[in-house]
Structure 1
């Protein structure tokens, strides 16, 4: 007799509480194997494939593509042991913890060593067909909202049945009284779609009123864009930041890079050389490789440099992190920058690749600009900005000459250090750019 296992959207880590279904990888009736990816979802940090921790026949899917689901909401139900089912037997879902591999996320350590197949059971073939299975009612997220605000009704007493805290927060942020709604979920459960429908109805003009002209295109602040907005807003609220900058003659740095690449082997990027300079500067000025613990009222100096770098993608700006950058050579840094950039542009970065940074290197010169005053990547304490490197008039050895000049800027958290420390850091970076031999003292 088959058992029906209910697989829920797993905890995605790093404080992520919801995900949007991008693409289903299986359909109802498909046979799935243990750890086979069943759905591709987009979180606020990355696109990931979610594998099912047990094998069997898919009996139900919950949520259409484009639907946002909270962590813990049902994704699919799978009939396990359905090779020879009884024709009129219905099985109830059982907890996923009682069966399966325990692996739930591709990109989070899930084993891909087993081959995966997608096979549909069709009536009339030699393979036995699984009888319709009736899973217990679960709060599936509907494709279209099924509830709208109703006429004033008696206000219920007691707790309001809501599918998740996210729905309750959505209502609270928009001043919506959940007690005035009638949920479309099982036993009157209020779903996110119910709240969104109520908000749309409130915003709609009443009959007979003048309708104003459209205010322009509205783009939801969700997914990556929403995460960026929230993080930058928090940075501006919490961090008293200041910026200092300096122009530097990068002619010798560019010549050193050309000589390295002419010697053969993997090419070394300018970003990798600047990253190597950053790690040396942070060793001299560890105040800038730190974070502020507001609860404990402490500055926490961090032992390793996990270097974030800005990467522009079709999904927006992302900041992949190079772990233990202080232990890497320029060649190793070049390879890691290239690897993470390729993953970012393909939308394949795991959340672990986008978190845990301690210092950020922002090469905004690739956009053809000279300078910027960026917002610190919270909860870090500083960010080095690099403008474009272009020929400019420059006084070199007492004479006017055309040199390769770059503007460097340092935005820093004034709580962790004063201007003298920030200025010393930036001056050291500029000295290494102007004379790469300075860097040899720290190697």
Structure 2
């Protein structure tokens, strides 16, 4: 444990939805849901206006539509999210060389590697205030919540305490005072199944957990989890901040509030994680040969499966296809509470000819979360809600909706006010997808 609060965690608030509200003035202050829009879609991010209706990430889109039918449901524009994330990560690397991105919208920063004149609570608070202002500036209006503490665990909890747009610094020595009144589910890895096991031995809060011996926790939860929770109940976490340049593998994993059984939802979650892994691979200018799937079942048993490709890849479809195949080998009928997708055996090159072109659409209809959101399949065109488009006469806008041969567009951008809505034939040659600029 550190004697100074020098680990910072920044989490951009409702990131995907906030980017959409930034770029679509008519959606500001209104419920927005980003993710898969089809029958097997899953919510990636919901704006705070949509969260008021009970919509949250990893929820099936069908359920989100029932809870908030008036929300704007958008397929997502990954180029816009990557560009915004890149600006924030460059800002963080200007503070410290030790930046550990967890996803496009959150990262740890080790301030002990920064040129800090004052690492006291007051000193890091001043730095965080300045950082938050710069985040809003470089993102064109987005906000981020910042937590700072003596460990990753404490910093991440701190960033959740005052969302959105919050700043919380936990002074060293105050960690257990912070944790003790909290529900035990605040600890990473304590989902419904573990919480129920702990409830049976009288554990509801972190203070209750702290009073239980390590032997008892190991007996109830198993060696690895029991030992881990014993340490975290005492705020003991010595994990370092590891920059991506030092990573031997790149992975993404998520723990869910409910156990997922529906294979369609699980496949969609794997697709989303494969996309996130690909984003991190490309940001690190890396590729990898070995794809690993991590699954934690309802009984907290953890299983990993790996497969090695003939050559390295950074293609999301290839990674997703392999991970889905590995998932099919496991019995998930009892429910899945954690999924993770990772790539290892990293290289700094890609054997392009081993893999299909990322621009190809192989399925009968496009996946809503594909980076390539508009594709020609024969003579049909698919216009997904939220897609950037341009019309030769009316200029730039975004797809408001489509169906029965008609596409409706709202013509507005981040720099304009709310724009007018016009409808066109879906095959109107004057209306085209606005292609994002190629990545540097």
TM-score range, shorter chain: under 0.3
TM-score normalised to the size of structure 1? Answer: 0.26
Which is helix-richer, 1 or 2?
2
